[in-house]
Chains A and B, each alone.
Chain A
Amino acid sequence: MAKVLLEMKSITKTFPGVKALDNVNLQVEEGEIHALVGENGAGKSTLMNVLSGIYPYGTYEGDIVYDGEVCEFHKIKDSEKKGIVIIHQELALIPYMTIGENMFLGNEQGSKWCIDWNKTYAEADKYLAMVGLTDSSKTLIKDIGTGKQQLVEIAKALAKNARLLILDEPTSSLNETDSRALLDLMKKLQKEQGMTMIIISHKLNEVSYVADKITVVRDGSTIETMDAKTEEISEARIIKGMVGREITDRFPKRHDVPIGDVMMQVKHWTVFHPEFAERKVVDDVSINVRSGEVVGIYGLMGAGRTELAMSIFGRSYGIGISGTLELKGKNVVLRSPKQAIEAGIAYVTEDRKGNGLVLSNSIKTNTTLANLKAISNATFIDKDKEYLVAEEYREKLKTKTPSVEQLVGNLSGGNQQKVLLAKWMFANPDVLILDEPTRGIDVGAKYEIYCIINDLAKAGKSVIMISSELPEVIGMSDRIYIMNQARIVGEMKASDATQENIMACIVKSGSEA
């Protein structure tokens, strides 16, 4: 039996009015990869913040025993000194600094007053090699992709002499290839350096792939710890622990939804990059969607999916757009998002915080934003009507909030996504383009979002769902387009689709190019 590196004993953390953690116990053995799973708001991040000293000693109850001694961390530096390094979900790298500068930020190499740049870059290269990154440490962060940035974060942690590495949702912004590479790196670090790691993730397939032990957190308490050595851990098994009930079917079925006429048809759609004018980001794409149909667009990140969606949505992205767009059989030209909304298209953005919602505004004002006309009379807003609309959608979508006056920024990811959907449903479109509608939200909320999508199809809407999660695309769509390197490389019925033949499409197109 390996030595226990970290033990958190009966940790209780209360915020005014809420008990975020209630008597939580966690044991991590040296050299293992330990996964924390749980729904959003279950308390995983709070627990890690307690561990890393973001919530200082004294603001919580309970003990942290690390390496055999009881620790009192007052700030992040204290925990880092002990070798506990946390990598947050949102990357903390500065785009206009080099990899090397970023890696040693706050940990500068050289004498006290003078940075030794040669040493900095030499050291940086050393750690980059460890994580398998071949780029020079003098490359600017903005010039490398998100996948590589995540690796830089890990190299940065290694440079701090980490013994216990905490990764909070490390793959949430990575595509499948990069995610796999990251998980393999975790395994490599475990094997070669005996690194102990805690990973927080929503992606259960990744968790079961990489973790030795899985602890389920629910409603601020640790529910159970599963050991991969002693039992077979299936995704269904984890989900059961997370939601406290067995979700027999992760994807709700649509029953008797008739698929009607072609609602939207895009032909020979080509879009160029707004800054690099010669680069095609969408290349001769033709797709269509019928009423009552859910069409999935699967592709890796950077395949051009978002670019395709945004260029259709009133040319809100790209230049030199060519091709035709037909709505209900009629040719239309949409020059702005406003025209697109009026024509009956809604684009539910991928990045709900960045460009989907106004976090500093209430649920109410966010809900009505895309269709202010419906609640106003010659520019005068009928606030009573607005309130009723917001309430109606809160009930319909089961958004969990004390009131629709609540600021959207205070909601959890799943509830924010519901507000975003409410906003676009209220715009009453014929075609909804959903870009990664379930990114970063927990299993329970995902299921609810799927139900909403089914209701939309039932109401005769056309839904285009862009996703980089294969099971989701296969489980939810009627028909699937596969996109790779700016082109549509395959189309299949969902009933024929398997993860293997979709991936095969992508691999085949990649080798042709």
Chain B
Amino acid sequence: MNNFSIKDVLKKNVMAIALLVIYVFFTIMTGGNMFTSSNVASLIDQNAYVFILGTGMLMCMLTGGNIDLSVGSFVCFMGAIVGIFSVENKIIHSAASVPAVLLIAIAVGLAYGALLGFLIAYMRIPPWIATLAGYLAFRGLGTQILITASETSAISNFPDGFLKIFSGKIFESGYDTMNIPCIVLGVLGAGAVIVLNLMGRAKKIKKGYSADPLWFVILKSVLIAAIIMVIAVQLSWDGGLPVVVLWIIAILVIYGIITEKTTIGRHFTTVGGNAETARLSGINNKLVMFCAYLNMALLTVLASLIVTARFGSANAFAGQNFELDAIAACIVGGVSAYGGSGTVVGMVIGAALIGVINQGMSLMSIDQDTIKIVKGLVLLAAVVFEIVSKKGNKKQ
């Protein structure tokens, strides 16, 4: 009944292990530079948008390998919209309050998401065509707005309130002292992981199901807790916990629960697994597709706010290739390109893997073109690996 085997565990977590190995590799190759507080913090800062957009892309891909090409341009467009409302400019002469700006941003996101969802789900326009239109149009529209609004074709000087919500650190302190709130939050997070894992096992045993051996659960929890603590300590020496980490954790936890534990998530994977079966099982396929793209647009709004706040400016080049980063994170993270399977955790590992390679090679002063080549090969290798390992499973 209990088929626990180390081999299976390694097989299942091969990507996570690869991530660790690659991280250690770059740390050694950069003489420890990779593992400094400021670089750990910038790794998170630079890739925050990938986690958010990757989550939205995951939901789209689950419904049948569908993608959204318009997210990068929409990030730029939303930056412009947020910019003209929050900062005095040539189009709108008085700045709105931060809550009002956020409401406007959400409303615009809802409008675009609903339109896109309608076109794809109810008009049956292939997703990549509908979103290709958005890819072109929003880049143009965003740029036009910015050019009209400001002579430098960029909007900066965002209000502090806005910046604080989406960037900066919690209880920021100096860079020469350890930030205590950051450590406290780290301890809380690490403790939560251990407690939840042990509780989950206890519940399984109580109900009489097979569970992993105790030593393994402890080892796993301690390992994850240790990683959390290491990151927390590193961040505490860099002024504190970035606000964006809270946004990421919130989004990942919410969508992790949706995809793993709810009927909504089940509907998404079923539509992707077999659309006809889903329809004849009482699932509203069109509604699922509609929601996938509505959701994508809303998460894109969030990503745009985070990116705009991080740079403190909205410009015409914002969000370039973001859609491809999100898709790559999903694919490397084992999300099926044909739909029906994929997890938030997988996507996170995929995003982190690409982020680590990016940062590591940059720190080694390898030129951008070589980095692109390597990233392309990693993407290809991940897909080949997935397909080969699936074939291996079938033969058994």
296-341 of chain A: CB within 8 A of chain B: 313-314, 316, 336-338, 340-341
Q: B274 near A365 (CB under 8 angstroms)? A: no
Q: A15 near B395 (CB under 8 angstroms)? A: yes
Partner of A349, one of B266, B278, B280, B283: B280
B161 interface contact, C-beta 8 A: no
A121 interface contact, C-beta 8 A: no
B residues near A360, Cβ cutoff 8 Å: 273-274, 340-341
Known contacts A313-B280, A336-B282, A336-B284; is A358 also within 8 Å of B262 by CB?
no
A residues near B262, Cβ cutoff 8 Å: 376, 379-381
A residues near B270, Cβ cutoff 8 Å: 358, 361, 365, 369
Q: A337 near B279 (CB under 8 angstroms)? A: yes
A357 interface contact, C-beta 8 A: yes
Q: A358 near B282 (CB under 8 angstroms)? A: no
A450 interface contact, C-beta 8 A: no
CA distance A370 to B270 in the complex (A): 11
B203, closest chain A residue (CB): A384
Q: B273 near A355 (CB under 8 angstroms)? A: no
B11 interface contact, C-beta 8 A: no
Q: B280 near A355 (CB under 8 angstroms)? A: yes
Partner of A356, one of B209, B264, B277, B395: B277
Q: A338 near B284 (CB under 8 angstroms)? A: yes
A387 interface contact, C-beta 8 A: yes
A residues near B5, Cβ cutoff 8 Å: none
A residues near B395, Cβ cutoff 8 Å: 15-16
A372 interface contact, C-beta 8 A: yes
224-277 of chain B: CB within 8 A of chain A: 261-264, 266, 269-270, 273-274, 276-277
A17 interface contact, C-beta 8 A: yes
B residues near A384, Cβ cutoff 8 Å: 207, 209
B residues near A354, Cβ cutoff 8 Å: 274, 276
Nearest Cβ on chain A to B280's Cβ, whole angstroms: 6
CA distance A373 to B341 in the complex (A): 22
A residues near B266, Cβ cutoff 8 Å: 365, 369, 372, 381
Q: How large is the interface on B (under 10, 10 to 19, 20 to 34, 35 or more residues)?
A: 20 to 34
CA distance A359 to B270 in the complex (A): 10
B365 interface contact, C-beta 8 A: no
CA distance A423 to B277 in the complex (A): 11
390-437 of chain A: CB within 8 A of chain B: 410, 423
B396, closest chain A residue (CB): A16
B281 interface contact, C-beta 8 A: yes
Q: A355 near B276 (CB under 8 angstroms)? A: yes
Nearest Cβ on chain B to A404's Cβ, whole angstroms: 12
A residues near B283, Cβ cutoff 8 Å: 338
A347 interface contact, C-beta 8 A: yes
Partner of B340, one of A341, A361, A423: A361
Known contacts A338-B282, A357-B274, A360-B341; is A381 also within 8 Å of B396 by CB?
no
Known contacts A358-B270, A381-B261, A384-B209; is A369 also within 8 Å of B281 by CB?
yes
Partner of A376, one of B263, B279, B394: B263
Partner of B273, one of A361, A376, A379: A361
1/0 per residue, CB under 8 A from B, across A362-392: the answer is: 0001000110110010011101100100000
Interface of B is mostly: helix
1/0 per residue, CB under 8 A from A, across B187-225: the answer is: 000000000000000000001010000000000000000
Partner of B274, one of A336, A341, A355: A355
Q: A372 near B263 (CB under 8 angstroms)? A: yes
Q: A337 near B282 (CB under 8 angstroms)? A: yes
A residues near B276, Cβ cutoff 8 Å: 354-355
Q: B273 near A387 (CB under 8 angstroms)? A: no
B residues near A337, Cβ cutoff 8 Å: 279-282
Give the interface centre of B209, B273, B281, B284 by most chain A CB atoms within 10 Å. B281
266-308 of chain B: CB within 8 A of chain A: 266, 269-270, 273-274, 276-284
B residues near A349, Cβ cutoff 8 Å: 280
CA distance A313 to B276 in the complex (A): 14
B residues near A17, Cβ cutoff 8 Å: 396
Nearest Cβ on chain B to A41's Cβ, whole angstroms: 16
CA distance A354 to B266 in the complex (A): 19
Nearest Cβ on chain A to B253's Cβ, whole angstroms: 14
Q: B280 near A347 (CB under 8 angstroms)? A: yes
A340, closest chain B residue (CB): B282
CA distance A347 to B276 in the complex (A): 13
B residues near A357, Cβ cutoff 8 Å: 274, 277
B residues near A370, Cβ cutoff 8 Å: 281-282
Give the interface centre of B277, B278, B396 by most chain A CB atoms within 10 Å. B277
CA distance A314 to B280 in the complex (A): 9
Nearest Cβ on chain B to A195's Cβ, whole angstroms: 35
CA distance A373 to B267 in the complex (A): 12
Give the interface centre of A360, A376, A384 by most chain B CB atoms within 10 Å. A360
B336, closest chain A residue (CB): A360
176-193 of chain A: CB within 8 A of chain B: none
1/0 per residue, CB under 8 A from B, across A219-233: the answer is: 000000000000000
A residues near B284, Cβ cutoff 8 Å: 336, 338
B1, closest chain A residue (CB): A403
19 A-B pairs, CB-CB below 8 angstroms? Answer: A338-B282, A340-B282, A342-B282, A354-B274, A354-B276, A355-B276, A355-B277, A355-B279, A357-B274, A357-B277, A358-B273, A359-B274, A360-B274, A369-B277, A369-B281, A379-B262, A380-B262, A383-B261, A410-B394
List 18 extra interface pairs beyond A338-B282, A341-B282, A372-B266, CB under 8 A.
A16-B395, A313-B280, A316-B280, A337-B279, A337-B280, A337-B281, A338-B284, A356-B280, A358-B270, A358-B274, A361-B270, A369-B270, A370-B281, A376-B262, A379-B262, A379-B263, A379-B264, A387-B209
Q: Closest 5 interchain pairs by CB?
A: A355-B276, A358-B273, A338-B282, A372-B263, A358-B274
Please give the residue numbers on chain B whose beta carbons come within 8 Å of chain A beta carbons, in ascending order.
Answer: 207, 209, 261-264, 266, 269-270, 273-274, 276-284, 340-341, 394-396
